Amino acid sequence: MLPVRQVQVAGAVDGALRSRTVSTLTEDHASTEEAAGTGTDAGPVAPKGSPIKAHHIVLAVGIGFAAVTAASGLASAFIKHHDDSPVQREVFEGIPSSFKLAFYTLIPIMIVYGSVMFANRVRNWQRGRPDNRATTPRNAKRRMADFRAGVYMQTLLREPGAGIMHSLIYFNFVILLAVTTVLEVNHQLPTAAKFLHGDVYRGYAFVGDLAGLGFMVGIIWAIVRRYGPRRYRPYRIRIKSKPEHAVILGVFAAIGITGFGTEMFRIAETGSPEFERWSFVGYPLAQLVDGAGNLAGWHQAWWVAHVVSFMAFVIILPTTMLRHIFTSPLNMYLRDRERPKGAMKPLPDMETTEIEHFGASSIEDFTWKQLLDTDACTMCGRCTSVCPAHATGKPLDPARSC
């Protein structure tokens, strides 16, 4: 892995040794000046000078998701494919159409809102100076490996307590999202193509409850690690907890609790059919309320609460450190693969450069990647906990640089 600049030097080997030094410096000089001139043009994804910037892509993705959700709602209003299998569940069973209309209106709006908020973060990165983190054939493999290390939580598992907690929440959340999506897909399919019935439904119900249970275990674990008895709280988390952490955990807990609450009353409302035993959490819960009055009303209330807590999730996703779901793997993907670990960033030749501003004293002095760094940071405090200056009572707190 030669640093880029070494390759450039190799091209100038035929010159005298002195001029070789100078020519490299001039190249540095030129590239940095060009960099200073182009300002914020070079976004993380958009090529230099392209009218499409990274935040446009974020908006497009958000609008795309919202459109699909809205279309799905519209489709269900006109197309009615029924599955008459006894072992299955109805989508929106017992939910009034006015609720459905609100659901399919509000959720797309929330998704667009979320993408606008996230695009604002991306625009913030675009204020930074250029930094070449291009994916090339040479580094593509490493980049993908770095990315996988992110989404598979490999680096987090270095500390098992944090890694397992994260995995429980993240993977189960993804499964639950898939469970909901599968239900919706099945809902839209023509009757003949529907698959969510019989043993498939039993397995589906089991997987859904298992994921929900794992998710709740992860959330409770996270709450104990952050707010539980002192002996369960790592030093780094004690010093770094902020109100937004409580909000995030509260919303997650609400999603999990209302999810099971909705399921419990839905099963009870439909008379606790035998096959729902495969919902091994929801079914026993349903027995607690079986025969109670106004099950339909309770079911609707829990359903609304579940939808509202999901909307809360969409709101806090781009606006709190929860955005690290996206930014952290992206940040790992963009890890510097050209500069050696021990090398500082090059500066132009100080004798000849016309640049008059060096270093960083404001946001715009950092590169877009450094600004992305700050959004990938979750204030986990690991950096501070290993800092020798912090450990010996000096004012330095590396996490604050984010």
Partner 1 sequence: MVSDITVPANWMFDRITPEEIWSCTSCKACDEICPVNIEILDKILDMRRYLSLMESNFPTELGGAYRAMENSGNPWSMSQSDRGAWADKVPGVEIVDPGEAFTHEYLYWVGCAGSFDDKNKRVTEATAKLLQRAGIDFAILGPSEMCTGDPARRSGNEYLFQMLAKQNVANLNGMGVTKVITQCPHCFNTMKNEYPQLGGNYEVIHHSQFLESLVSSGKLDVSNARLDERIVYHDSCYLGRHNDIYEAPRRVIGSLAGVEIVEAGRNGTKGMCCGAGGARMWMEESIGKKVNDERAQELIATGATRVATACPFCFIMMDDGVKAAGKEEDEVRVADLSMHLLEAIERGEADGKGAPAFLSDVIRVEQTELSAD
Q: Does 160 bind partner 1 (CB under 8 A)?
A: no
Q: Does 272 bind partner 1 (CB under 8 A)?
A: no
Distance CA 62, CA 118 (A): 9
CB of 43 to partner 1, least distance (A): 14
Q: Residues 80, 137, 231, 361: which binds partner 1 (CB under 8 A)?
A: 361
SS3 for the chain, per residue? CCCHHHHHHHHCCCCCHHHHHHHHHHHHHHHHHHHHHHHHHCCCCCCCCCCCCHHHHHHHHHHHHHHHHHHHHHHHHHCCCCCCCCCCCCCCCCCCHHHHHHHHHHHHHHHHHHHHHHHHHHHHHCCCECCCCCCCCCCHHHHHHHHHHHHCCCCHHHCHHHHHHHHHHHHHHHHHHHHHHHHHHHHHCCHHHCCCCHHHHHHHHHHHHHHHHHHHHHHHHHHHHHHCCHHHCCHHHHHHCCHHHHHHHHHHHHHHHHHHHHHHHHHHHCCCCHHHHHCCCHHHHHHHHCCCCCHHHHHHHHHHHHHHHHHHHHHHHHHCHHHHHHHHHHHHHCCCCCCCCCCCCCCCCCCCCCCCCCCCCCHHHCEHHHHHHHHHCCCCCHHHHHCHHHHCCCCCCHHHHC
CB of 399 to partner 1, least distance (A): 8
Q: Residues 41, 244, 290, 349: which binds partner 1 (CB under 8 A)?
A: 349
Contacting range for partner 1; rule: CB under 8 A; set: 81-89, 222-230, 244-252, 375-383: 375-383
Q: Does 57 bind partner 1 (CB under 8 A)?
A: no
Please check whether residue 165 is in contact with residue 221, taking contact to mean a CB–CB distance below 8 angstroms: yes
Name the residue nearer to partner 1 (CB basis): 97 or 362.
362
Name the residue nearer to partner 1 (CB basis): 5 or 100.
5
Distance CA 402, CA 399 (A): 6
String marking each residue 277-316 x if it binds partner 1 according to CB under 8 A = ----------------------------------------
Name the residue nearer to partner 1 (CB basis): 9 or 308.
9
Q: Is 19 left (phi over 0), alpha (psi -120 to 50) or beta?
A: alpha
Distance CA 310, CA 54 (A): 26
Q: Does 30 bind partner 1 (CB under 8 A)?
A: no
Q: Residues 115, 278, 332, 368: which binds partner 1 (CB under 8 A)?
A: 332
Measured on CA atoms in the order 36, 37, 39, 44, is the torsion positive or negative?
A: negative
List all residues 6 or more positions away from 394 whose beta carbon is below 8 Å from its beta carbon. none
CB of 242 to partner 1, least distance (A): 15
Q: Residues 32, 215, 324, 368: which binds partner 1 (CB under 8 A)?
A: 324
What are the φ/ψ torsions at residue 129 (nearest 5 degrees)? -80, 165
* Contacting partner 1 within 224-253 (CB under 8 A): none
Q: Does 350 bind partner 1 (CB under 8 A)?
A: yes
Q: Residues 81, 100, 123, 202: which binds partner 1 (CB under 8 A)?
A: 123
Contacting range for partner 1; rule: CB under 8 A; set: 67-75, 197-205, 252-260, 324-332: 324-332
Q: Does 17 bind partner 1 (CB under 8 A)?
A: yes
Q: Does 32 bind partner 1 (CB under 8 A)?
A: no
Contacting range for partner 1; rule: CB under 8 A; set: 170-178, 187-195, 306-314, 335-343: 335-343
Read off the amino acid at residue 182: V
Q: Residues 160, 291, 293, 359: which binds partner 1 (CB under 8 A)?
A: 359
CB of 219 to partner 1, least distance (A): 20
Name the residue nearer to partner 1 (CB basis): 205 or 399.
399
CB of 136 to partner 1, least distance (A): 18
Q: Does 6 bind partner 1 (CB under 8 A)?
A: yes
CB of 336 to partner 1, least distance (A): 7
Contacting range for partner 1; rule: CB under 8 A; set: 64-72, 169-177, 240-248, 385-393: 385-393
Contacting range for partner 1; rule: CB under 8 A; set: 185-193, 225-233, 237-245, 372-380: 372-380
Q: Does 148 bind partner 1 (CB under 8 A)?
A: no
Contacting range for partner 1; rule: CB under 8 A; set: 42-50, 95-103, 298-306, 370-378: 370-378
